[in-house]
Chain A
Amino acid sequence: MDMKKEGQVRIPSGCAIAAVISKEGRRMSGEAIINAMKPMHDRSNGLGGGFAGYGIYPAYKDFYALHMFFDSRTTRKECEAFLKERFEIVFSELIPTRKIKAITDEPIIWRYFVSPLSSVYTAMQIDEKEFIARTVMQINAQMDGAYVFSSGKNMGAFKAVGFPEDVGVFYQLEEYEGYSWTAHGRYPTNTPGWWGGAHPFTLLDWSIVHNGEISSYDANRRFIEMFGYQCTLQTDTEVITYIMDYLIRVQGLTLREAANVVAAPFWSTIERKTDPAEQEKYRYLRTVFSSLLITGPFSIVLGFEGGLMALNDRLKLRSMVIGEKDDKTFIASEESAIRAMEPDAQHIWAPAGGEPVIIQVKDGAFE
């Protein structure tokens, strides 16, 4: 039987997210973030788990790390020929995995550390990052059987069909060290779940883990596709990733402004703001980017170079708590997950709906 992919079938259905970051830029193995997912086991159904780690490739930090799935050796060879026309491939290898009973039917999983050929992107009159983004879109939309699931510098996503704690063991995440980690356990709501459809969804160094089901998906997709993004997976998280890239990298908004676009306050709440400048800013963002308002339940963690941003939908239809210990900040769908990472975590609190929480590694410490 052919496996049905995203969009070919609808499954009615929750999710689990967790994250940790060291504000001092101290690197942690992936073990703690795997442990975080264990008490939240029942929030997933085994149809997807994944992680993103930042600061994990210090030896190749100046190169884009492309993590890829291939359905066959032939596809890989074809894709590599395509890559060589556009990049200098500095190093490439199979991503090391562990054979375990809980994870089966894996595709061919490969990583490439690449440097874009300046002659190619200069001729296209675009910058390096835009070139990477377009290349990822081109492969994912047009190259059957090849899928780029991670494309940032000094970071990487690791995802699979399975429970997240098993996915972490499969990818040997205890062998990696990063200054921040995010994790996701999937309970697919609309799509069947295949390896590419697991979270995190990434583009460049952006990664998103998401618990929820956004009802504005199609409105958001139609808008974002006008700017060259191609939603290939029909999952709501993919579009959130592209919205963040568009608002922050392309439009130059701050993280907080981007949060105020996707989780904009209600007009009635804006009308009651007492600071006129603040009120005007909210009005402006809602008006200019009205098609990027994300409605429906979500709690997300956005990972990026040097930081994390946690955000709930404005109605806060999903749970999310935050805790701290020393230089570390923890984010999770449940306090139990934070306790699994750090039993003595302090200042446990829940941000309000639409209230972004941004944690950044102190200047330069992540380099």
Chain B
Amino acid sequence: MNKIQANDMDYKALNEVLRTDQTETYLSGCCGQRFIGAGMSNKAITIDGIPGNALGAYLNGAVITVNGNAQDAVGDTMNDGQIVIHGNIGDAAGYAMRGGKIFVKGNAGYRAGIHMKAYKDKIPVLIIGGHAGSFLGEYQAGGIIIVLGLYEDDRPIVGNFPCTGMHGGKMFLRSTCSDIHFPHQVTARELHAEEKDELSAYLREYCDLFGFDLNTMLDAPFTVITPDSKNPYKQMYVQN
């Protein structure tokens, strides 16, 4: 394993080192360097410290593990791979991601999963252990967003205006969501019994990573949110 002390390196120098032929890298003393692992494949990066914005942007198969918090725009437009955050995550996590998985043990900021999309076998998954801020899944066009609300605090499982502009994909919230206001173009309903396997499949890996018990996790009410139509803009401009 290649060990890098990131303390005084700027992001360009740091990514330069990461791009050299190493399959496993341990990064310590990270403090705000942006774009770590951007576009990388076939690589595992473990980070101590605080990685900067756009961690794993355009990630293309690499696995990134952060032993703490991460900042904004993690996994921006990521295509494949896995990002595991053992703390909280900033705003706009998984921005426009179109493949791969982001697993967050703690809370997420505003606009998590904004404009996530999917295509054929490319189905991105974003799982948040705590609560998510406002505008969760804004303009979601595809993929899976799961928020678990595992920790007791004074915040609701999701802030205001979730699913604004959502027109694809699926969201699972581990709550009855009785006090959450959803927009008109989505349907929020209880989890159907036959969907439990699908949900378990997403959560198994998450539970293994962070040491949670899957059965306990599933033994709670889940709300499923899907858009009413796959194409809400049908006939808005042209017949399509």
Q: Is the CB of A39 within 8 A of B71?
A: no
Q: Is the CB of A350 within 8 A of B133?
A: yes
In the assembly, what is the distance between CA of A336 and CA of B49, in Å? 9
Q: Is the CB of A339 within 8 A of B72?
A: no
In the assembly, what is the distance between CA of A168 and CA of B236, in Å? 55
Interface residues of A in 328-367 (CB under 8 A from B): 334-337, 339-340, 348-350, 352-353
Q: Is A269 an interface residue (CB 8 A)?
A: yes
Q: Is A73 an interface residue (CB 8 A)?
A: no
Q: Is B207 an interface residue (CB 8 A)?
A: no
Q: Is the CB of B91 within 8 A of A316?
A: yes
The interface on chain B, measured as residues whose beta carbon lies within 8 A of the other chain's beta carbons, has a size of: 23
Interface size class of A (residues with CB under 8 A): 20 to 34
Q: Is A272 an interface residue (CB 8 A)?
A: yes
Q: Is the CB of A334 within 8 A of B71?
A: yes
Q: Is the CB of A337 within 8 A of B71?
A: no
Q: Which of B52, B69, B71, B110 contacts A353 (CB 8 A)?
A: B110
Q: Is A319 an interface residue (CB 8 A)?
A: yes
CB distance from B14 to the nearest CB of A (A): 12
Q: Is A42 an interface residue (CB 8 A)?
A: yes
Q: Is B134 an interface residue (CB 8 A)?
A: yes
In the assembly, what is the distance between CA of A341 and CA of B116, in Å? 35
In the assembly, what is the distance between CA of A334 and CA of B49, in Å? 13
Residues of chain A within 8 A (CB-CB) of B88 are 348-349
Q: Is B32 an interface residue (CB 8 A)?
A: yes
Asked if A319 meets B50 with Cβ closer than 8 Å, knowing A39-B32, A336-B31, A352-B133, the reply is no
Q: Is B169 an interface residue (CB 8 A)?
A: no
Interface residues of B: mostly helix, strand, loop or mixed? loop
Q: Is the CB of B53 within 8 A of A334?
A: yes
Q: Is the CB of B32 within 8 A of A319?
A: no
Residues of chain A within 8 A (CB-CB) of B135 are 315
In the assembly, what is the distance between CA of A335 and CA of B51, in Å? 9
In the assembly, what is the distance between CA of A340 and CA of B53, in Å? 16
Q: Is B41 an interface residue (CB 8 A)?
A: no
Residues of chain A within 8 A (CB-CB) of B200 are none
Asked if A339 meets B109 with Cβ closer than 8 Å, knowing A272-B181, A348-B88, A352-B134, the reply is no
Q: Is the CB of B159 within 8 A of A348?
A: no
Q: Is B90 an interface residue (CB 8 A)?
A: yes
Q: Is B34 an interface residue (CB 8 A)?
A: yes
Residues of chain A within 8 A (CB-CB) of B110 are 316, 353
CB distance from B28 to the nearest CB of A (A): 12
Q: Is the CB of B133 within 8 A of A316?
A: yes
Asked if A350 meets B134 with Cβ closer than 8 Å, knowing A334-B53, A336-B52, the reply is no
In the assembly, what is the distance between CA of A39 and CA of B53, in Å? 11
Q: Please name 9 pairs of A and B residues whose Cβ atoms are closer than 8 Å in the assembled complex, sorted by A.
A: A315-B134, A319-B109, A334-B72, A336-B31, A340-B31, A348-B69, A349-B88, A350-B91, A353-B110
- Further 11 A-B residue pairs, CB within 8 A, beyond A316-B109, A339-B49, A350-B91: A39-B32, A40-B32, A315-B135, A321-B90, A334-B32, A334-B52, A335-B69, A335-B71, A340-B32, A348-B69, A352-B133
Binding site for B on A (CB under 8 A): 39-40, 42, 266, 269, 272, 315-316, 319, 321, 334-337, 339-340, 348-350, 352-353
